[in-house]
Structure 1
Amino acid sequence: TPLTMVWGLVQSFRAAAKYRGGWKGLLEHMYTNGDYPFKFGTYMGCDAAGNRYYENRVDYPFGQHRWVEPGDIHNFDSSSIPPQWQGWMTSMNDAPPSQEDQLIQSKLEAVPSMCRSDAPVATNVGHQETLVNFHHLHNLTQVRSRGYNIGNPIVGLPPGVKDSYYTQPGSPYNDASIEKPVAIGDLDEAKGGGRPYKSDKWAERLMTAEEKEAAAKAQEEEAKRSIEAAQMAQRRRLAG
């Protein structure tokens, strides 16, 4: 009956609010995941970004039995899920990362040792440094400025900070491929330098109004001297 349906809906809301720690947690869950009826599962672990992972193999079909609730509900991105949790989310791994060490140890105990080894590690993975990613984004292609030196508030990149995404060798955005400007002179060379220029046009842009006027007068005087020298040479040829 309609009354039973309404009562069931109220009960679902009450159970979900209790499960999420109150109405605030429930509304946050609706804002992020938007699941209805509300998903209930077993808490499996949390990563460094604050993302929480759940599993329920009883009430949900395969493919929907594992899900993540983001730590940052406003700027969540799938690339913020670490690779080890990504493998668990896509059912590539049966055990979550929090239980991987126990799983590997149980597998190693089942494999007999064929010979003695002095290796400092028990697996072929060896030593690994702690992986630190910008704002927990493992895909750094998004860590780029939205404009020249304005940063990117979506991924938390401050203004003036260099982009972090990978560029191929030979790319005009690769530091190794960017040619550094070579100065051919300095307007303040007599004073110890301070205004280097790489072309005459560049030097003209750096000049003040007084310097441009003085340069124009010097150029005009040089032209007059050239004309006078040419006229004198011509008179000598005619006189000779």
Structure 2
Amino acid sequence: NGDYPFKFGTYMGCDAMGNRYYENRIDYPFGQHRWVEPANIHDFDSTHIPPEWHGWMVSMNDATPSLEQEYIDKMAKDTIKGEISHAPYQSNIGHQEPYFNFNGMHNQSQIRSRGYGIGNHVVGLPPGAPDAYYTQPGSPYNEASIRKFEMQGKLDEKRAYKSEMWRQRLMTVAEKAAIEQSEKDEWTKPFEVAKTAKRLSLREQAILARGGTLSK
């Protein structure tokens, strides 16, 4: 067009990365009527456009993300809730860590440390910073789900164990044999008592069955 290399249009909004979006439906044909001015013209790629603005850029919808959010908030306010929701978030995105300088990457699954606590210089994640992607409760990567390491007991001052299997591995052959003998004695004790107990006659058994007592 005759405006090259300049284009004139209406400012429609800006995303989190600083990219500015414009529209002119009068002077430009369809397909050229929407464009973006990148925040960093020296390092820009189409993947730097977030999904909500990408839909507007390719004319999948005419409402900008800010207008869509206003509509969603209005409908949520006017909607009569049938049941009380205890969900911590209003969307399925869940908790998100603070953004870091990750070069315009919107796939947060890549915003992770390349090693424990060393960060990721490729995406600009500093050392010691938490990964930027969401982890579900119960995941071993979720800090709230990591259980504190605790010992269950100890055989002596130098032999502590955290599970029954661990305790069995730490025990000596003599200790295992002593425990087995103790359990055997405990199991046979009632039989030994029964052998030495006085046998009751039928008359004495009948008295005890009626709730009576025997004289010594």
**TM-score relative to the length of structure 2:** 0.40
**TM-score relative to the length of structure 1:** 0.37
Q: Which protein has the bigger helix share?
A: 1
Compare CA radii of gyration and give the structure with the larger one: 2
